[in-house]
Amino acid sequence: MMRTHRENNRSPGGYADAMEPAVDSARTRIVAAADELFYGRGIGKVGMDAVRDASGVSLKTIYREFPSKEDLVLAVLEHRHGLWTRGIDTAAATATDPRARLLAIYDHLAVWFAESDFRGCGFINAFGELGAAHPRIADAVRGYKSTFQRYVDDLVADAGGPASLGPQLAILAEGAQTTAAIAGTPDAAAAARAAAVVLIDAACGDQLGTS
């Protein structure tokens, strides 16, 4: 099974092949700059002028790549999903069994929460801010979250746990993110991990030792 939680290769953009490199680097710079700004200040508080200044790409080029701010937000969310996926994958890389891979999720959260610019889950923030008015953004967030849910469910199945365990572990991860963001401390990752240990061992029959 070993589902590796890959991101999609590319959004269906459709730009010419010959100029892919230059265009792609412009896209990359725009998305990277917008991601940092959106995440740090909230999407509504960041104007396209700020994205231009931070990326060094003119407004005209930004609007050629992304026909509207909403499209840029969607690209930023996809980018964040790639970061999240890679982080989970590297955290799980050294694990040898599904149980350890599940717990690696919370270890990754601990690393993330300790970053100085941590401000909660970008998907949750975007959903709370724009979900009601922008169905495409709400759908994208739903999709990313359910992808993660499937990842957890598959690991639970590999570990021989019941289907009810997956949602519980995902809820712990979600709650840790908002708790850490609001409290301003990374403690929630350790608490969620400890709870996950109890839940996993209670549900999976306790074949292995604790921790």
Among 209, 57, 80, smallest CA distance to 143 is for 80
Backbone angles phi, psi at 121, to 5 degrees: -80, 120
Tokens standing for residue 82: 């790639």
Q: Which is nearer to its own copies, 20 or 139 (CB)?
A: 139
Report DSSP letters for 38-87, one per residue: HHHH-GGG--HHHHHHHHT--HHHHHHH-SSHHHHHHHHHHHHHHHHHHH
| 8 A C-beta contact, residue 175 and residue 191 | no
Least gap, CB of 192 to its own copies (angstroms) = 5
Least gap, CB of 122 to its own copies (angstroms) = 9
Least gap, CB of 64 to DNA (angstroms) = 6
Q: Which does 54 bind (CB under 5 to 8 A by kind): DNA, its own copies, none?
A: none
**Residues lying near DNA in the complex (CB under 7 A):** 19, 26, 44-49, 52, 56-61, 63-64, 67-70
**Residues lying near its own copies in the complex (CB under 8 A):** 40-42, 44-45, 119-121, 123-133, 138, 141-142, 145-146, 164, 167-168, 170-179, 181-184, 187-188, 191-192, 194-195, 198-199, 202-203
Q: Which is nearer to DNA, 129 or 201 (CB)?
A: 129
| 8 A C-beta contact, residue 68 and residue 51 | no
